[in-house]
Structure 1
C-alpha cells in the first residue's frame, strides 16, 4: 500500500484517527498496517495509540517520543478554549509551560510563554515544520501570525529534539503548530460568538472534500474576524485572518501542498505597555490609555497596525521502498507600524514627581537647537521584514534495521527598522535626542532620529542522523548538525550609536545528538536523550561603537533527559526528568574600558533541572479526569555569585480538570496554576510574583447541525499580578539622606472573568 493510499484508508476509518501531530514527524517509524490500534497524526507519521482515553485527553505524548512532549488536539482547542485564544494559551495546558501578557483578554493582546523557565526567543516556534520568528532575535508575536482557526494541533517539545529539529533557538525546546487539515468529505462551518468587553467573532471554514476530477485534490479555506473593546481602558482590538490550503495528489507516490495565510491586527496600546502602581491606585488594574489629548496616554496617540503573511509549498514523495523525500519552500513577512507616547509612566506615579519633571514630560523641540515648548512627545516606529527559506530532507532505509535522514535548511531575511521622535499633537519632528556626530565623517545625526536601520541574516543548517533498530522495539538515533548564522547591519543611523555603520557577525556551532526509544510493550515505552542546544546572539550585539572588541559566540546548552510513556485502554500517562547545563550566556563586559564602549562577551551560566508528568483517566461513560505538574529549577550558576531563580521562571506549574464528551454534549472544567516566580531574577523581594491560576469552564450542546456553546474564561475572576517591568529610579532630593523610589515600574494583571456565548452551524 502506498503512503497516500494508506493515509486515505486511515482517514476513511480503517483505524481510529486522532488529530495528533508530533514535532519529530520525519523520524517516525513506518506506519502500522490497517486494522491496528494505532493512528497516524494528521500531517505526520507519528503514532498515537487510538484508545478511549486518547480520544478525550487534552494532552498526551507519543509512544515514539524521544524527549518530553505534550500533544494538544484540535478537539481540545475547539471544545475547551476561547475561540480568540492565541497559541500561547493553547500551549499553557502543558507541563512546565507558563505565560504572561494577554492582559486585554484572551488573544486580544500579545502574550509571552515560558518553557521550563526558558523565555520567548530562547526556544523555537514552528508552523508545519518551518521555524519562524523576529529577525532581530527569535522572539514571537502570539496573536499576529496564526490565530486558533489556523491550527489543527500543537505540540510542545521540551528539548532540542533530534538533529532534524530546526531553528536558531533549539536549546529551550520547540512549540510546534500544524496547520488545519484538509478532509475527504465536503463540509462547511459557520461560527459566531459574543461576550464580555463587547467582544465578537465570526468565522467560516469550508472543506471541498476530495475533488475526483482533480485527482482527489482537497481544498480548505477559512476566514475570521474579531472585534473587541478590550478589557483595558481605551484599548480596542480588531483582527482579520484568511487561510487557505490545497492538497494535490500528483501521483500515488507524490503529493503537493500549497498553504497561505494573511493576518491583520489593529489596536490601541502604548509601545511600552503597562501601568504604574500610582496609575493603578487612581484608575484600577485595567488602566492603559485615556481620552486626554494633553497626555502621552491618550488613545489617539497610541495605536498599532500589524500585517503578516505566511506561505509554504511542500512536496512529499516516495522515492524508493521505505524511502522518502520532502521539500518545503516558504516565505513570510511582518510589518508593524506604530505610533506611541514616549513614556506613559510619567504621570500618577507612586511618588509625586516634581513640577520640573512634569514640565519636561510635556515638552518638545520643534526646531533644531531651539528651546523646548509645550507638546506631547512620542515616536513613530516601523519594524518590517521578509524571510525566504527552503528545507530539503531525505529519509532512506539502508537495511531492515538502519535508516538515514539527511537534509539542508537555508534562509535569508531582510529587515527594516526605524524610530523617529515627533510631537504627537502636530506630528512635527521633535528634535529631542542628544547630539551625535559620525566619528568618521563628522556629520551630525538629526536630533529627531532614534535609528534607521537595514539588517540581513543568512543562515543554513546541515543535518544528518542514523536511526538504528538493533532489537525489536529498540530505536537508537545518533545525529549531527552544523549551524552557520550570519547577521549584517547596513544602517544609515544604527540603533544606540545613532550614526552610519556597516557591521556583521558570523556565528557557527556543531551540535551532536543521541536519542533512544525502547518499546517495552505495545502500551509502554521509555526514552532518553543527550543533545546540544544552540542560540544565535541577538542583533543588539551589533549596536556598539567598536564591534571588534565584542567576542559574543553562540549560547549553548547540554541536555540530558529520560522518561516513559504509557497508553492503556483507560489510562494515559507520561513522566520525565531533565538536567540542562546552559553556558555562554551573552552579557556585557563590566570590566571593558570606557574607551571601548559597550562590549559583549559570553559569561553567564545557568542550570535547569526538574521533573514533569501528566496523566488522563477515561471512564466508559465519556467522562475523563486529567492532571499534570512540574517542578522546575532554573537558577544562575555563576562562580562566586548567589544561585538565583531566573526571571519569569516559575518554581512549579500544575493543571487539572474534568472533561465529558458523549453524544451531543461537550463539557470541560480546566484549571492551570502557575507557581511563584521573580520578575527580575535578582532576588529583589519587590519583584516577587505570587502564584496565580486561570480556570476555564466550557459547555456545548449539539442539536442537529447547530452547536450552542457557553464559555467562562477565568471562572474565579482572578486578577492576580503576572509580570512586572522594572523602570527607572526616582530620587527624592528634598530630604536628607535622599530616598530612592521605583515609581515607574509597570505592572500587569490578569484581565478577570469573561463570559462568551457562541453558535456554530455545520453542514
Structure 2
C-alpha cells in the first residue's frame, strides 16, 4: 500500500495541488500503476525534507499538524470526499476533481463543503453561487468556525462571519478541507471554536497549458473562465505561474434579481536557490446584484407572487429593483517565504492583506409589499397599506411630503493586515513547531436614511441627544462609525514519534484580542462614543494518531476553543455594565480511518461543551439601556462517518452521514435543539470515471431542524407545509446529476442538473414582527422572511484545453 503525500497541511501551508491531482485521481493511468509511489508532480517545487522515515508519519515543510496524506487506492481515486490516515481530528478532503466533475462552475465554497458529513447549508436562494449562502458545521453557525485561504484566516471585522461568493469563487480553489474541530495549536483564526473550512489556492504546474471554459444554463446564467499555466520557466530558475479570470452573469432565480461577478487571480512560485521559495498570490473580485439588504419573502408575498419573489418593477414601492442594489469589491494578497535554515529546521513567513467594500442601497422594509395584516385583509386594503407605507417621508420640520419612498444607504468597508511566522525543528523522534500571528484591521461602517427616489435625506429616526455634549444627532443618520481590531496569537506544539506509526502532539496557544470603536454616531446609541474591550485566552490542545497498520489508523483529540464577543457589545450606552466574556468550548473526539484497495472509510464520535453563550437584556433602570452578559450553555455531540467502495470498470458507491445533537444545557430549563442545527445529515451517490466519460449522481439530505430555538414545549401537530409558525423543518435534500465526455483529450462537454428532484422546501426563516394582538408559539408572524430552495437548474458547459 503506497501513499500520496500532499505537501501541505489542512491548517496552514498551501495545498501543493489538489488531492485528486496529486494522487492522479483524475488520471485513469493511475489505476494500472497503484503499486508504484505517487509523486506530487504538480505541486510547487518541494523544499528538501528535514527527515525521512515511515511514509505514514514523515512530514515535509512546516508542520501545522499532520500532513494530508491520501492513500493511493482505487476507492480514493474516485471518492468525492475522503480522509487522511494521518488526521488527528475528523476531516473531509474535497478535491478539485469533485469541484470540476460534479458541481456547476458557479458554486461557492459552502456548496463545495456541503458534501461533507455534519455540514448543512442555507441561503443561495437566487441560484447556485448567485447569492450568498451560509454553512453550518455540527450546528455551529457561520462566525463560530474559521474559514482560511492558504492558511490565512479571513472574515468580517465586526464578527468573524463570511461572504461565500465574494472573495473566492471556485476558479480560485484547488482543494477544500473541512476540519470538524478546533484543530491544534497552530490552527489560527478568531473562531478556533466549532471547526474550520480550509480553502487552498489553485496550484502552479510544471507544464504550460491553457484551459478555457464556457457554461450556460437556467435563469440565463452564463460563465466564462480562462486558466493559464506558464509551466516551469527555466530562464527564471524554474519559476511557475498560474493566472485565471472569470465572469458570471445571470438573471437570477428570483424576480428582478440579476447577478454579475468578475474575478481575476494570479499566483507566482519563485525558487530562491535550492533551499527556499517565494510565493506571490493575489485575487480581486467584484459582485453587482439587485437584492434587499434584509432578504427573504413573506408568506403573503409567496401566496401572491410565488416562492421566488424578491423585487418588482414598481418605482412607487420599496421593492423596486433599482432601489435595492449592492456593489461589492474585495482583494486578497499573500507573500509567503519558505526556507530550510538547516538540515533539520525550516522557517516560513506569510504576510498578507485583504479588503472588503460593500456599498448598498436598500428599501427600509420590503416585507410590506403584498403582506397581509390583521387590519388589511382584502386586496384593496393591502394596496392601501402598501401605498401608505411607501409614499410618506417626514421632513426635519415635521411636515409630510408625498412622493417619497423610504430606504437607506449602507457602507461596510475594511482593510486587514497580518503576518504569520513559524519555525520548525525536527530532532528525529519528534518535531517542535512554534510561531506567532499578528493582525490588525481598520473598518468604516455607516447607514443613512434616504428618499429612494432622489436620495435626499429622510428624517425618520428618533430624536437623540448626546448625554455628555448635548449635541443632537441628525434624524437621518442611523450610525457612522470607525472600528479597529488588534489580534495576536503565540503558539507552540510538539509532535512526538516515540514508536513507529505513533504521533502524540500536545500544544498550547495564547490569544489576545482587542476591539475598539471610534464612532461619530455609534450604532444603536446614535451619538459619539469611543469604546474598547480586550480579551485573552490560554488554549491547550492534545492530539494522537496511531497507524495500527499501513491501511488503518486511529486518532483522538482534546482541544479548547475561544470566540471573542462581536462588535455589537460596544453598541451600548454603558459598556462597563456589561460582563460578557468570550465563549468557550471544550472538544473531545476520536475516530478511525481505513483505506483498502477498494474500500475507504472513516468514522468518529465527538462531544463538545459550549459555555458563556452571548446574551443581552434591557435594564429596567432608566438610562442604563442594553447590557450584555453570558448566560447559557450548549452540548454538542454526535457520530459521523464516510464510506466509498470502488466497483470494477470505474464505478464507485459512496455514502456519508451524521447524527448530531446540539441542545441547550441550562439549569431549570428543558433541553432544546438550537436553531439551524440539523439533527442529522446524509449523502450518497454513484460515480463513474472511465476513459473519456465521467458521471456522478449525488444527493445530500439535511435533516430536521428548528429555524428559531423553540421556547418550552412545541405543541404536537402544529407543523405545516411552510414550517410556520413553529419554525420547524422536516428536512430537505439536493440531488445533483453531472456527466461529461472528453473528446480527444482537448475538448470536454458537460451537463449538470442541480436539484434534480426540483425540491423547493424552506431552508431558512428570519423572524419578523408579529401581527397586532397575537402572542405565543401559535402566533401568526406575517412579516417573517423565508428562504426556499431554488428549483431544478440545468447547466451545459464546454471546456477546451491546449
Q: Which moved more, 1:124-133 or 1:372-381?
A: 372-381
Structure 1 CA distance for aligned equivalents of residues 646 and 411 of structure 2: 51
Tell me the secondary structure at the aligned position of residue 741 of structure 1: coil
212-221 or 317-326: bigger deviation: 317-326
1:723 aligns with 2:745: no
Residues 421-570 of structure 1 mapped to structure 2, 5 A cutoff: 421-570=449-598
Alpha-carbon separation, structure 2, partners of 1:30 and 1:546: 57
Which of 625, 630, 641 is the aligned partner of 2:653? 625
Q: How far did 1:590 drift?
A: 6.3
Q: After TM superposition, list the pairs within 5 Å mapping 1:127-276 onto structure 2.
A: 127-276=149-298
After superposition, the Cα gap between the structure-2 partners of 1:252 and 1:128, relative to the gap in structure 1 and judged at 3 Å, is same
> What is the aligned counterpart of 2:425 among 376, 396, 402?
396
Aligned counterparts of 1:266 and 1:123: Cα–Cα separation in 2: 27
Contact 2:263 2:286 (C-alpha < 8 Å) held by counterparts: yes
Contact 1:621 1:662 in 2 (8 A): yes
Match of 2:390 in 1: 362
- Does the 8 Å contact 2:338/2:346 carry over to 1? yes
Taking the aligned partners of 2:41 and 2:258, their CA distance within structure 1 comes to 35
1:353 CA drift (Å): 4.7
Q: 3-state DSSP class of the match of 2:569?
A: helix
Q: Equivalents in 2 of 1:529, 1:149: separation in Å? A: 34
The residue that corresponds to 1:744 in the other structure is 783
In structure 2, the residue matched to 1:586 is 614
Q: CA RMSD in A?
A: 2.6
Task: State how far apart, in whole Å, the 1-side matches of 2:506 and 2:487 are.
Answer: 24
| Residue in structure 2 matched with residue 377 of structure 1 by the alignment | 406
Counterpart Cα distance in 1 of 2:177 and 2:729: 28
1:656 to 652, 677, 684: 684
Q: Secondary structure at the match of 1:464?
A: strand
Native 8 Å contact 1:629 1:655 kept in 2: yes
**CA distance 1:591–1:443, shift in 2 (3 Å):** closer
The question of 1:574 aligning with 2:602 is answered yes
TM-score, length of structure 1 as denominator length: 0.94
> Residues 732 and 740 of structure 1 are in contact (CA less than 8 Å); yes or no, is this contact kept in structure 2?
no
Shift of 1:29: 9.8
Q: Distance in 2 between matches of 1:19 and 1:620?
A: 27
Q: Is the 8 A contact 2:54 2:501 kept in 1?
A: no
| Rounded Cα–Cα distance in structure 2 between residues aligned with 1:67 and 1:592 | 46
In 2, Cα distance between equivalents of 1:372 and 1:139: 40
Unaligned runs of 5+ in 1: none
d(CA) in 2 for partners of 1:351, 1:574:
52
SS class of match (2:171):
helix
Give the Cα separation in 2 of the matches to 1:15 and 1:116.
36
Q: State the Cα distance separating 1:621 from its structure 2 match.
A: 1.4
Distance 1:668 1:20 in 2: 25
| Aligned-partner Cα distance in 1 for 2:286–2:199 | 20
Partner of 1:612 in structure 2?
640
Structure 1 residues 335-344 or 678-687, which shifts more?
Answer: 678-687
The answer as to 2:727 corresponding to 1:687 is: yes
Displacement of 1:402: 2.0
CA distance in 2, matches of 1:642, 1:68: 30
Residues 681, 700 of structure 2: 8 Å contact kept: yes
Whole-angstrom distance in 1 between the partners of 2:560 and 2:747: 50
Structure 1 residues 522, 653: CA separation in 2 closer, same or farther (over 3 Å shift)? same
Once the two structures are superposed, residues 417-445 of structure 1 have per-residue CA deviations (whole angstroms, 9 ceiling, x without a partner) of: 00000001121100000000000010100
Equivalent residue number for residue 360 of structure 2? 338
The residue number in structure 1 matching 2:98 is 76
Shift of 1:50: 1.4
In 1, the alpha carbon distance for the partners of 2:545 and 2:257 equals 50
What secondary structure, in the 3-state scheme, does the structure 2 residue paired with 1:581 have? strand
Per the TM alignment, residue 589 of structure 1 is displaced from its structure 2 partner at its CA by: 4.2
Deviations 1:521-570 (A, max 9, x none): 11111000000001010000000000110111111000000000111111
Cα distance, 1:196 vs. partner? 0.4
CA distance in 2, matches of 1:76, 1:672: 14
Question: How much does 1:347 deviate?
Answer: 2.4
> CA offsets, 1:295-349, max 9 Å, x none?
1110010010000000000111111223211111000000000000000001222
- What residue number does 2:12 align with? none
Cα distance change, pair 493–42 in 1 and its aligned pair in 2 (3 A): same
Change in Cα spacing, 1:484 to 1:112, as seen in structure 2 (3 Å) is same
Which of 91, 98, 102 matches 2:113?
Answer: 91
2:721 corresponds to: none
Asked whether the equivalents of residues 42 and 181 of structure 1 are also in contact (C-alpha less than 8 Å), the reply is no
Which of residues 330, 355, 374 in structure 2 aligns to 1:308? Answer: 330
Q: Distance in 2 between matches of 1:754 and 1:205?
A: 25
TM-score of the superposed pair, with normalisation by structure 2: 0.90
- Aligned counterparts of 1:209 and 1:358: Cα–Cα separation in 2: 61
Measured after TM superposition, the shift of residue 350 of structure 1 is 3.9
Contact 1:364 1:431 in 2 (8 A): no
The aligned residue for residue 723 of structure 2 is none
Shift in Å, 1:360: 4.9
In 1, Cα distance between equivalents of 2:57 and 2:574: 62
Mapped pair 1:710 → 2:738: no
Q: Would you say the 8 A contact 2:129–2:165 is kept in 1?
A: yes
The aligned residue for residue 642 of structure 1 is: 670
Question: What secondary structure is seen at the aligned counterpart in 1 of 2:631?
Answer: strand
Query: Secondary structure, in 3 states, of the residue corresponding to 1:90?
Result: helix
Q: Secondary structure at the match of 1:89?
A: helix
In 2 relative to 1, CA 256–32 (structure 1 residues): closer, same or farther, beyond 3 Å? farther
Instruction: Specify the alignment match of 1:697 in structure 2.
Output: 737
Q: After superposition, what is the alpha-carbon deviation per residue over 1:665-689, rounded to whole angstroms, capped at 9, x for unaligned?
A: 1100000000010000125562001
Corresponding residue to 2:798 among 742, 759, 762: 759
Structure 2 residue 446 is the aligned partner of structure 1 residue 418? yes
For residue 604 of structure 1, give the secondary structure of its aligned residue in structure 2: coil
Structure 2: distance between partners of 1:386 and 1:92: 29
8 Å CA contact 1:412, 1:459 repeated in 2: yes
* Structure 1 residues 484-526: Cα deviation after superposition (integer angstroms, max 9, x where no partner): 0000000000000000000000011000000011110111110
Count of residues in correspondence between the two structures: 750
Aligned counterpart, 2:625:
597
SS at match of 1:201: strand
Which deviates more from structure 2 when the two are superposed, residues 594-603 or residues 510-519? Answer: 594-603
1:622 CA drift (Å): 1.1
Deviation at 1:373, TM superposition (A): 2.5
Indicate conservation of the 8 Å contact 1:19/1:74, yes or no: no
Tell me the distance in 2 between the aligned counterparts of 1:256 and 1:105. Answer: 39
Secondary structure in 1 matching 2:197: strand
Give the 3 Å change call, closer, same or farther, for CA 499–657 of structure 1 in structure 2.
same
2:348 corresponds to 1:326: yes
